């Protein structure tokens, strides 16, 4: 299984972190202050758009991972983690595969890029939660409420708010 997942991950090698707006303008991660405009300019790309544009946030990259996994007949589930802080509300999406073990397939979150293996879904989700909390504390976010949702494949071209609503209408997970 790990070899098949590595092949999927390798297909994302030329995808960079950033986003593309509806006018096809590219906002690479190194562009200062793109977070200020993200909620107004973002739309969820289809896998085909992401392959063409080469820039996507985790939300886009998870859909491309789902696309490649589906091509290989590998079942996956997608998860959305959010820190409700009444300001930034940082989020992350990720893909989980259940086979002989549970696998967290990660491309967009560079420090954790790779395939992570766990004996249970609960251990996997707790590990992602701990890593996510460490990352938001580095952003000086102190007062927040954390939530994790399992969500279904969304429609493409959703706005930022529409995508978040889609995820938050999924199955809330208690971790």
Q: What is the pLDDT of residues 55-65, one digit of tens each?
A: 999 999 999 99
Query: What is the predicted pLDDT for the residue at 132?
Result: 96
Burial of 21 (C-beta count, 10 Å sphere; 0-12/13-18/19+):
middle
The pLDDT value given to residue 34: 67
DSSP structural state of residue 42: B
Q: Which residues pair with residue 145 across a beta bridge? A: 84
Task: Tell me the pLDDT tens digit for each residue of 28-53.
Answer: 887 666 667 888 999 999 999 999 99
pLDDT (average), residues 139-148? 87
pLDDT for position 141: 77
Closest residue by Cα to residue 118 from 130, 131, 101: 101
- Average of pLDDT values for 122-151? 92
Burial state string for 81-106 with b = 16 or more CB within 10 A and e = fewer than 16: bbbebeeeebbbbbbbbeeeebbbbb
Strand arrangement of the beta sheet that strand 91-98 belongs to? 114-118, 102-106, 91-98, 77-84, 145-151, 171-173
**Residues 94-126: pLDDT tens digits?**
999 999 999 999 999 999 999 999 999 999 999
**Higher per-residue confidence, 24 vs 115:** 115
């Amino acid at each position: 299984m790990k070899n098949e997942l590595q092949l999927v991950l390798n297909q994302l090698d030329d995808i960079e972190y950033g986003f593309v707006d509806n006018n096809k303008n590219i906002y690479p991660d190194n562009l200062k202050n793109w977070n200020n405009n993200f909620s107004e300019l973002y739309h969820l790309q289809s896998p085909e758009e992401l392959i063409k544009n080469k820039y996507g946030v985790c939300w886009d990259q998870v859909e491309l991972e789902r696309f490649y996994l589906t091509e290989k007949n590998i079942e996956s589930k997608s998860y959305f983690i959010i820190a409700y802080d009444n300001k930034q509300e940082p989020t992350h999406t990720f893909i989980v595969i259940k086979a002989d073990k549970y696998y967290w397939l990660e491309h967009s979150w560079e420090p954790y890029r790779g395939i992570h293996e766990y004996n249970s879904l609960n251990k996997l989700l707790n590990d992602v939660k701990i890593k996510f909390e460490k990352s938001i504390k580095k952003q000086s976010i102190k007062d927040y409420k954390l939530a994790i949702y399992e969500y279904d494949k969304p429609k493409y071209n959703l706005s930022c708010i529409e995508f978040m609503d889609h995820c938050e209408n999924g199955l809330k997970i208690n971790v």
